[in-house]
Amino acid sequence: MNSSDILNRLVTCLARLPGVGRRSAERMALKITRDTNGLAEELISSLREIKEKLCCCSRCGSVTAVNDNPCRLCTDPSRDAKALCVVEDPSDIISIDKSGGYHGRYHALMGKLSPSKGDGPKQLRCESLLERIVNEKIEEIILALSTDVEGDATASYIAELLKGQNVKVTRLASGLPSGSSIMYSDSITLAKAIRGRQGM
């Protein structure tokens, strides 16, 4: 394998990260290559540590330590165990929890319905959501999904899926602009959206 193949492999890996395009990935790869202050070693060490010590919570999907699974959000007795906030991604859990406007439990779907990307219901954590509603006696599901077309389709699908489950289904209210993502919203906007959630 020659030098350009090695560099291209790193660029390809970096470009798979969310929000990183090909050009940004190339700049990152070149920076790592020419850095003489130990950046490559730090990255290798950090990635190895993440691989060995972190995982997704077996219950909600949030990032947690391997030896702290289920995570603290799922086991904290002071949180409202009857409310479940459904999000697309673990990063949304961090954003909503930072807002301080919600003190219940979470469930990350790990995506949203996106036929163009081949993401259907089977790619989402819907089965485990249904199990949690029954096992944890959940009374309210709060759909905290993006307000784009795919987010709306996912919210409608879940609302339909939960019919007959004897659970109240709400969705975040105004405050989240159309077409936006949870992770790009500020804490005040998220807190208002949680408080003003509406039935579906």
Q: Determine the Cα–Cα distance for residues 106 and 37; give it in Å rounded to an integer.
A: 40
Confidence of residue 115 (pLDDT cuts 50, 70, 90): confident
User: What is the model's pLDDT at position 174?
Assistant: 58
CATH of domain 79-199: 3.40.1360.10
Confidence of residue 175 (pLDDT cuts 50, 70, 90): low
Backbone angle region of 77, left / alpha / beta, with phi > 0 → left and psi within -120 to 50 → alpha: alpha
Does residue 132 have a pLDDT over 70? yes
Share of the chain above pLDDT 70, in %: 95
Q: Determine the Cα–Cα distance for residues 162 and 108; give it in Å rounded to an integer.
A: 16
Mean pLDDT across the stretch 102-113?
95
Does residue 136 have a pLDDT over 70? yes
Does residue 134 have a pLDDT over 70? yes
User: What is the model's pLDDT at position 183?
Assistant: 78
Give the pair of three-digit tokens for residue 107: 């469930």
Which helix (H) or strand (E) segment holds residue 81: the answer is strand 80-87
Does residue 168 have a pLDDT over 80? yes
Domain range list for the chain: 3-34, 79-199
Helices 22-34/3-15 angle, 10° precision: 130
Does residue 79 have a pLDDT over 90? yes
